[in-house]
Structure 1
Amino acid sequence: MIRRDALLLGVSALFALATPGLAQTIPLTAEETELIRNIGAHNTAIRTMAGRFLQIDTNGGRVEGTFFLERPDKVRFRYNPPSREEIVSVGRGFYVLNRADRTYYAYPQDTIPLRQFLGDQIDLFRANIVGVASADGYMTITIVDETVAGTVEVSLVFDTETLDLAQWSLVEPNGTELTFSLYDVEKNVEIPRSFFYIDATYTAIDPANR
């Protein structure tokens, strides 16, 4: 069973690369600085994305799903069965939907790091970068980020040739580690408007009662 907080942390982790925080203070080489700047510019230019993801937890549990993103302010993460949950961002809120009982609960968008990645500009230097490493054609950027659940350490892995985000992992405040990999990603594709819509028949519930 997927915890709903893990769903939100997963989304937060993916988009934490642009979360405002402490200015990065670790020393970077000129090559690292240029590559990080190019990664931000490359991802800023991607206006829509769609693809699949694989989530692996600390115990080896595997969950797959699909995602759709459109700038500004729209994203949808849909976990495959047996999970019945989705995360949707539309406008100023983030919503966790349960397709089984047709309910949802909401968080204000300004409490989730994802809000920054959904904007028009991505600047990794605005994040609290605590580590950078390169190996085997990939750059790993480690960020300490504040989320609704507490402090999370996020490691984002970028392909140094394509500049695309390939994988990310996060350590939750309770020490649990989750790893996410993206595949079959299509960029700058047309996404139906209905994908960023919450059915009016769904019932809102209080997050405190989830």
Structure 2
Amino acid sequence: MRSLPLFGVYLALLAPAAVAQDTALPPLEEQTVIEDQSLKALRQVQDYMDGVETLEAEFRQHAPNGNIATGRLYLERPGYVRFDYTDETPFLIVADGKTLNFVDYEIGQVTKWPLKKTPLRALLGGSVDLASLQAHIEMGRPGFEDLILLSARDPENPEQGEITLNFMPDDSMPTGLRLLGWQVLDAKGEITQLTLTDQKVNTALDDALWTFEDPRGLTKRRRTRR
């Protein structure tokens, strides 16, 4: 795991000609039920975005090359996040409200992206951002019928990739939903997956979490991450 995976794009094209003439369309009632379920799920996700102001959790990250990293996630909406790696990974990822910083303490390098041009915008914004990111809902997977998947990408920056947030109903959470994690699909068609456990929501977080020790120019590299 040498650098932050590049964010890419996934374009799904659907043309009317792709439906054969002899293919029967689902009954109108069935289509309506599916649409109603999707709208309800979208409202639930919007409630989550509006109701969860902070989130703290353990994370497990699976990179496309098979590498696994672990750490602790701190999130404050809108615009703040910290991926604090707790294993031997010498990286730190911090968003300070405007900029996403990827800090490599091993080689003394900091790479920056405008936060609004990364897929994490869908996670760190509010419900109002979902429409601008062309968010769409999928319902369920075999064995996980209650799963809600929200996919989003920035139409103005499609090369930055697509993020899919995974939610499950959970009455123990303030908004009735639990964020299980997400996947990011990059321009190469490779997926980086992250899962969350041990979550705490709407607790006070220290403002120092959104800062970092800049390793550039240091004669001795250190792994201090705050």
Residues 54-73 of structure 1 aligned to structure 2 (within 5 Å): 54-73=60-79
Q: Which moved more, 1:45-54 or 1:34-43?
A: 34-43
Paired with 1:33 and 1:180, the residues of 2 have a C-alpha distance of: 26
Distance 1:142 1:82 in 2: 31
Give the structure with the larger strand fraction.
1
Task: Provide TM-score, normalisation by structure 2.
Answer: 0.68
Which of 87, 107, 112 lines up with 1:106 in the alignment? 112
Pairing of 1:75-86 with structure 2 (within 5 A): 75-86=81-92
Alignment partner of 1:152 out of 127, 151, 161: 161
Identity of aligned residues (%): 21
What is the aligned counterpart of 2:204 among 184, 190, 198?
190
User: Which residue does 2:94 correspond to in 1?
Assistant: 88
Aligned partners of 1:37, 1:187: CA distance in 2, in Å? 19
The 3 A distance-change label for structure 1 pair 91 and 145 is: closer
Provide the aligned length of Structure 1 versus Structure 2. Answer: 187
User: In the alignment, is the contact (CA less than 8 A) between 1:78 and 1:87 conserved in 2?
Assistant: yes
- Cα displacement (A) at 1:116: 5.2
Amino acid aligned to 1:87: I
Say if 1:67 and 1:75, in contact at 8 Å, map to a contact too. yes
Based on CA coordinates, which of the two structures has the bigger radius of gyration?
2
1:88-136 Cα deviation digits (max 9, x unpaired):
1114222111233444222233322434543454553443246612242
Please report how far the alpha carbon of residue 176 of structure 1 lies from its aligned counterpart in structure 2 after TM superposition. Answer: 1.5
AA matched with 2:100: F
The 5 A counterparts of 1:48-59 are 48-59=54-65
- The whole-number CA distance in structure 2 between the counterparts of 1:151 and 1:196 is 23
Structure 1 pair 118–179 and aligned structure 2 pair: CA distance change class (3 A): closer
Consecutive unaligned residues of structure 1, counting only runs of 5 or more, are: 14-25, 205-210
Which residue identity does 1:77 align to in structure 2?
F
Q: Distance in 2 between matches of 1:62 and 1:118?
A: 24
The runs of 5 or more residues in structure 2 that have no matched partner are 10-30, 171-175, 218-226
Give the root-mean-square deviation of aligned CA atoms.
3.1
Task: Verify: 1:32 aligned to 2:38, yes or no.
Answer: yes
